[in-house]
A and B are shown apart, each in its own frame.
Chain A
Amino acid sequence: MASKLSYVQAVSSVNPSFWNKLTEIKLNVDKLSESPRPVWGYFTLLSKTTVNQPLIELDSTSFNSDFNGQNMYVPFKGKVINKNTVEDFKECNKQDVINTEGKCLCENIVSGEAIKNPVLLNSFLLLTFADLKKYHYYYWFSFPVPSGLVLEKFSAKIISEEFNSDRLKQLYVAFQALDAMNKTYFIIENQNDKLLVHSLSSKLSELTAESTTDIYFAFFNISMDNKSIGSQLRNYAALILHHCPFLKGKTQKFVAVSVTRHGSEVGLDTSVIYNLLLPDVSTDKFDSWVGWEKNERDKMGPRVANMKNTLDPKIIAENSVYLNLKLMKWRIVPDINLEVTENAKCLLIGAGTLGCAVARCLLGWGVRNITFADNGYVSHSNPVRQSLYTYEDALSMKAKSEVAPKNLEKIFPGVNAKGVHICIPMPGHSVGESMLKQTVEAVQVLTDLIKDHDIIFLLTDSRESRWLPTLLGCYHKKIVINSALGFDSYLVMRHGCSSDTSNNPELVQDIEGYKIIDGDNLGCYFCNDVTAPGDSMKNRTLDQQCTVTRPGVAQIAGALAVELAVSILQHEKRIKAPAFYKISSKAEDLDPEIENQCILGLIPHSIRGFLSSFNQMLPATMKYDKCVACSDVILNEYKEKGIDFLLKVFDSSKHLEDVTKLTEMLADFDMDEILEFSDEEIE
């Protein structure tokens, strides 16, 4: 009794490197050409035990001219047609496409080309469209077979029922001696109980109706079970019928070859011998072809591979950067909030040595939004100290606000870096009629920048240029990190913010031996500076314009500024995080509560370092209630009079003293308000 054969179709499995290579070829070689390109498909010789689907693999070597399957793969021979637009891909008539391919296959059968090169019977077609901006790949495989060719099965038995194990061992050796192309389809001849293996080209033309009784038409079966057969058998039958027409309407023996491993033995024992009834058809009747692959939803339709994460080099860079940070989270500080750092918008006022150092360290923390505000140009002395500039930049004297973001993007394309060329208005730098419009504009630009950002880094090289951003940062309750350099000393500090309630700053003694200053009540750069004029232990050696500094100072201070900012972000109170300071020498060691103020440790108010002694201390100071930049008096004056107040200050810094009555205050200055962690370090 004859019964229908059950077929399986190859299942496509595309390696990432295939898409990579396809992209490379499209961009560099094919460009707008849509002409088909030959590709190899790989089918593992050894039956898979872990997967029950017949996977045909494509990778970057699929585009090679020679098949390199070693002894492990059986080839499929295909074409990739890469369409230029998604419309072309979707709208081309799929039946026409597969029929054209089928016709081509038919011609290879008729001409005998497929006898010389039997892999042509394993034809496939891959229709693609590569959206290279998004790294999306639309694709659809087809494995064409003639729809009008029906084979019927009379009997099927495992090969070992017909041949003993010695024969099968010989058969395996002979099979392995065939080259990869001829392993796909070949002829086995049973000659006096010896099994001979012939390539199609050496045997097919000799066959006669009489000689086929000892002949087995062998084919490598891609099916993973021994009940079904790879659909390409129909192409094989078409070839046999065309070249051996005497077999039409006859039964003929076939061997569905499969290679399996049992223990240390590899062999053909699970191959199946079929007795098949060959139909009486001729190749010119094959005008309709089938074989499009179903997609992952089991529908007749294309698939889309979204390879953005795998192939886009920018995404790969980004993932690697964030993986580094994630490792920190996973392995060292599980509770760290990386998103808050990543999303913090940072404004860097000053793009010199400090600005460059801060920007690069922010990249390390995965900070995405970085804006530079600067009015300088790259000069020849800059590149060796300012890590974002090169000799070329100096030659072309580009604005730092233009070069810094560009070079930052070169280092890490995932960053959103901007630059604003701006002269920051300064107290005592008279505006005059001609400069008025420009100055008012600059104030507006700076105000908007500060409002738009979360952290303001003050990194300029003069005291005066820090005044306006200090005031605005305080007024808008932003995290302000200030850094200033001396020849071999540095200061990094966070500014207190304006308090919502105008309560008197109070010191709360909370932990034995320590006092606490609320974030609200911490001083700013000017609180410290102004209260200690002429005292060399305080800031007078810092922040002189054109200060000559040891080259390492800016790198250290820049890094500390970023680390301080990140620690603040990790504290639940953020800018209002208190600063602790030691008031009793009895408190020898850091209290754990202080040491673990945030998950990264304590959050000092300021860090002063001295390279001459390689020493560092952590003083904390109260907000000075008549500070020229952050006191309520000043903030209120600004709130009420706005730009008019500012213009007065720009005209004459003495206006500040008038508002704050600074002269009177100097008399009240109390040294004890400089507070720090370690008593020994300051006298």
Chain B
Amino acid sequence: MDTGFSYDNFEKCITEIVNVSNKLLDGWKIESKQDCDAKFMTKKHSTYLDGLDGSKTLVTFEYHVAYSLSYGVPVLCFNIWRQDGTMLTIEEYWSLNQSLKDSNMHDTLTQMDHPVLCRPFLTLHPCKTSEFFQPFLENSKNPVVSWLSVVGSFVHLQLLEDYIKCC
């Protein structure tokens, strides 16, 4: 899909993000798969998720921001696991995510193959991404930051103020 946002634009955006992150020790890093030029950016983040019964679950998120060739937009993929490494399913995460309660789970969250790693990840639905992404293309110097700052908050990803400065 031609969104006017090329892979090269994407790589420039994530490089910028990682540079800021390195100064702030924020944890974003660039990764790639063997024998593959496509780069993506990842970050791990541990937190507690609140269950409806008042319980707290310690989990680690691993976020991946990769470029989807077919949609021509960045994709936010993530996996979540407990302390022992067992992963949360979509349904389990849904039941522990208060910020998404009002929407229809499967309009928002889905499982999809990572654009580069080709393994299943949880993801925000890519159709929604194009919708969210389009306005940032014209108004932001770093549309990946603008987009992440909006969609990240739905899935426990908070972006520091410092990133917004480079938009």
Residues of A participating in the B interface, judged by any CB pair closer than 8 Å: 11-16, 18-19, 44-46, 48, 50-51, 53, 55, 57, 70-72, 137, 139, 259, 261, 263-264, 266, 296, 303-307, 309-310, 316, 319-320, 323, 326-327, 330-331
B23 in contact with A323 (CB, 8 Å): no
Chain B minimum-CB-distance residue to A259: B25
**B47 interface residue, CB < 8 Å from A?**
yes
> Known contacts A16-B81, A50-B47, A71-B25: does B86 contact A305 (CB below 8 Å)?
yes
**B24 interface residue, CB < 8 Å from A?**
yes
Chain A minimum-CB-distance residue to B28: A72
What mask results when residues 61 to 102 of chain B are scored 1 for a CB within 8 Å of chain A, else 0? 010000000000000000101011111010000000000000
Name 7 A/B residue pairs within 8 A (Cβ), A-sorted. A70-B29, A71-B25, A72-B27, A264-B24, A303-B84, A305-B85, A330-B104
B85 in contact with A48 (CB, 8 Å): no
Nearest CB of B to A207, in Å: 31
B83 in contact with A51 (CB, 8 Å): no
Chain A minimum-CB-distance residue to B120: A320
B47 in contact with A51 (CB, 8 Å): yes
A44 in contact with B58 (CB, 8 Å): no
What mask results when residues 5 to 23 of chain B are scored 1 for a CB within 8 Å of chain A, else 0? 0000000000000000011
> Known contacts A261-B24, A266-B23, A327-B110: does B46 contact A14 (CB below 8 Å)?
no
The winner among A57, A72, A305, A331 for most chain B CB atoms within 10 A is: A72
**B106 interface residue, CB < 8 Å from A?**
yes
User: Cβ of B58: which chain A residues have Cβ within 8 Å of it?
Assistant: 13, 51, 53
Nearest CB of B to A258, in Å: 12
A309 in contact with B87 (CB, 8 Å): yes
User: Cβ of B45: which chain A residues have Cβ within 8 Å of it?
Assistant: 50
CA distance A359 to B80 in the complex (A): 36
> Known contacts A57-B44, A266-B25: does B106 contact A15 (CB below 8 Å)?
no
Nearest CB of A to B27, in Å: 6
B85 in contact with A15 (CB, 8 Å): yes
Nearest CB of B to A326, in Å: 8
User: Cβ of B110: which chain A residues have Cβ within 8 Å of it?
Assistant: 327
A48 in contact with B46 (CB, 8 Å): yes
Chain B minimum-CB-distance residue to A46: B25
CA distance A13 to B29 in the complex (A): 20
Nearest CB of B to A618, in Å: 33
A71 in contact with B24 (CB, 8 Å): no
Nearest CB of B to A77, in Å: 20
**B60 interface residue, CB < 8 Å from A?**
yes
> Known contacts A51-B58, A57-B60, A331-B106: does B25 contact A261 (CB below 8 Å)?
yes
A14 in contact with B24 (CB, 8 Å): no
**B107 interface residue, CB < 8 Å from A?**
yes
Chain A minimum-CB-distance residue to B48: A51
CA distance A14 to B162 in the complex (A): 30
CA distance A331 to B108 in the complex (A): 11
Nearest CB of B to A421, in Å: 38
A50 in contact with B48 (CB, 8 Å): yes
**Shortest 5 CB-CB contacts between residues of A and residues of B:** A330-B106, A305-B84, A46-B25, A50-B47, A14-B85
A309 in contact with B84 (CB, 8 Å): no
A310 in contact with B87 (CB, 8 Å): yes
**B149 interface residue, CB < 8 Å from A?**
no
B86 in contact with A309 (CB, 8 Å): yes
A16 in contact with B85 (CB, 8 Å): yes
**B111 interface residue, CB < 8 Å from A?**
yes
The winner among B60, B87, B104, B162 for most chain A CB atoms within 10 A is: B60
A16 in contact with B25 (CB, 8 Å): no
> Known contacts A50-B45, A266-B25, A327-B110: does B60 contact A310 (CB below 8 Å)?
no
A307 in contact with B85 (CB, 8 Å): yes
Given contacts A13-B58, A137-B84, 4 further A-B contacts (CB under 8 A): A15-B62, A50-B47, A263-B161, A266-B23
CA distance A13 to B81 in the complex (A): 9
**B105 interface residue, CB < 8 Å from A?**
yes
User: Cβ of A307: which chain B residues have Cβ within 8 Å of it?
Assistant: 85-86
CA distance A296 to B57 in the complex (A): 11
Nearest CB of A to B61, in Å: 10
B81 in contact with A15 (CB, 8 Å): yes
User: Cβ of B84: which chain A residues have Cβ within 8 Å of it?
Assistant: 14, 137, 139, 296, 303-305
